[in-house]
């Protein structure tokens, strides 16, 4: 079972010609309101990729909360561990410019009341977390996973410092280039390249590292081997949620006990396809869409 423990919210997405400078107002015609939140996006991606998924999170008793869960309900994600709390459902304002570049502000609301006490896991489960709920609950979630015989996977997005004792309990840490650089700085790691920094983190804490590189592909810097994959050849329309699609599909492949190279292929296809539609969830591919494009990803050891 894949248990995603994390954030959920509603995204208000605005297309702008260019992103505003500090203090500047830019005008745009319309906006759309779409389900989002990194935890929800990853739960959806894992379910659409074929995983059995439980989502553990918090919403307010409001219309945003109901709308935020619609796609997850349709995908068959188990939602009984979603708490209704006395804060509004989280909301993100997302501006996307004509080149696909984005700017996101998240109002955390109900996500701040998510508690590791909601999380129940057991041997064989994969517990997947991100960093949009209170840090103490993330660390408690990792502790709970390990104490109950589950494997803990953390996507360090958006980046916050991670205690060494929590890093030491992770099975896998997934980072993009910005997060990898911040992690390296936090840990006083000085290397000429991010993959070397990830290798040092792997060696220091005994975990598998996954480094995503956007249009340059993705890497596994693993305990047993290092792999590199190209990105899906696509013209990106909107990269919001692409990392979440990668993570969800990657973890669904892990839960299906696929080889790490195949996990990298599934994640890379899903991350690429997610860039073809606006918003974080509309472009999240189903299993059949992933299968149709797998041959376009080549994985090489390094």
- 241 touches ligand RIB (CB under 6 A): yes
Nearer to ligand RIB, 134 or 222 (CB): 134
Beta-carbon count within 10 A of 230 CB: 17
Q: Near ligand RIB by CB under 6 A, which window of 37-45, 65-73, 133-141, 222-230?
A: 37-45
Q: Which lies closer to ligand RIB via its Cβ, residue 244 or residue 266?
A: 244
Shortest Å, Cβ 91 to ligand RIB: 8
In the complex, least distance from residue 37 CB atom to ligand RIB, rounded to whole angstroms: 5
Select 37 or 228, whichever has its Cβ closest to ligand RIB: 37
Here's the x/- map for ligand RIB, 242-261, by CB under 6 A: it reads as: -xx-----------------
| Residue 92 sits in the site that holds ligand RIB (CB under 6 A) | yes
Per-residue interface string for the shown chain with ligand RIB, residues 113-142, x marking contact by CB under 6 A = -------------------x----------
Site string for ligand RIB, 4-23 (x = CB under 6 A): -----x-x------------
Min separation Cβ 210 and ligand RIB, Å: 16
Size of the site for ligand RIB (CB under 6 A): 15
Please state, in angstroms and rounded to a whole number, the distance separating the CA atoms of residues 47 and 277: 18
Name the residues that contact ligand RIB, by CB under 6 A.
9, 11, 36-38, 41, 92, 104, 106, 132, 240-241, 243-244, 280
């Amino acid at each position: 079972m894949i248990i995603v423990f994390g954030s959920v919210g509603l995204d208000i997405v605005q297309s702008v010609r260019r992103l505003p400078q500090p203090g500047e107002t830019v005008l745009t015609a319309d906006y759309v309101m779409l389900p989002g939140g990194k935890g929800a996006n990853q739960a959806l991606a894992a379910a659409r990729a074929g995983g059995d998924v439980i989502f553990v999170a918090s919403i307010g008793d409001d219309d945003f909360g109901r709308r935020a869960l619609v796609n997850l309900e349709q995908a068959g994600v188990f939602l009984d561990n979603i708490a209704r709390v006395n804060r509004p459902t989280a909301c993100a304002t997302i501006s996307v410019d004509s080149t696909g570049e984005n700017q996101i502000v998240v109002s955390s609301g109900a996500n701040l009341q998510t508690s590791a006490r909601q999380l129940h896991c057991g041997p064989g489960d994969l517990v997947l977390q991100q960093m949009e709920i209170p840090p103490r609950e993330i660390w408690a979630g990792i502790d709970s996973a390990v104490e109950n015989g589950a494997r803990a996977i953390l996507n360090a997005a958006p980046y916050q410092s991670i205690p060494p004792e929590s890093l030491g309990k992770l099975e896998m840490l997934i980072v993009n280039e910005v997060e990898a650089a911040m992690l390296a700085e936090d840990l006083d790691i000085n290397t000429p390249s991010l993959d070397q920094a990830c290798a040092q983190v792997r060696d220091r804490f005994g975990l598998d590292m996954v480094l995503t590189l956007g249009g340059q592909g993705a890497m596994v810097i693993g305990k047993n081997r290092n792999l590199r994959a190209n990105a899906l050849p696509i013209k990106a329309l909107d990269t919001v949620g692409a990392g979440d699609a990668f993570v969800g599909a990657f973890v669904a492949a892990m839960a299906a006990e696929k080889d790490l190279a195949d996990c990298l292929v599934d994640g890379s296809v899903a991350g690429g396809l997610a860039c073809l539609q606006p918003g974080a969830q509309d472009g999240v591919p189903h299993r059949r869409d992933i299968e149709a494009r797998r041959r376009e990803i080549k994985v090489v050891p390094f």
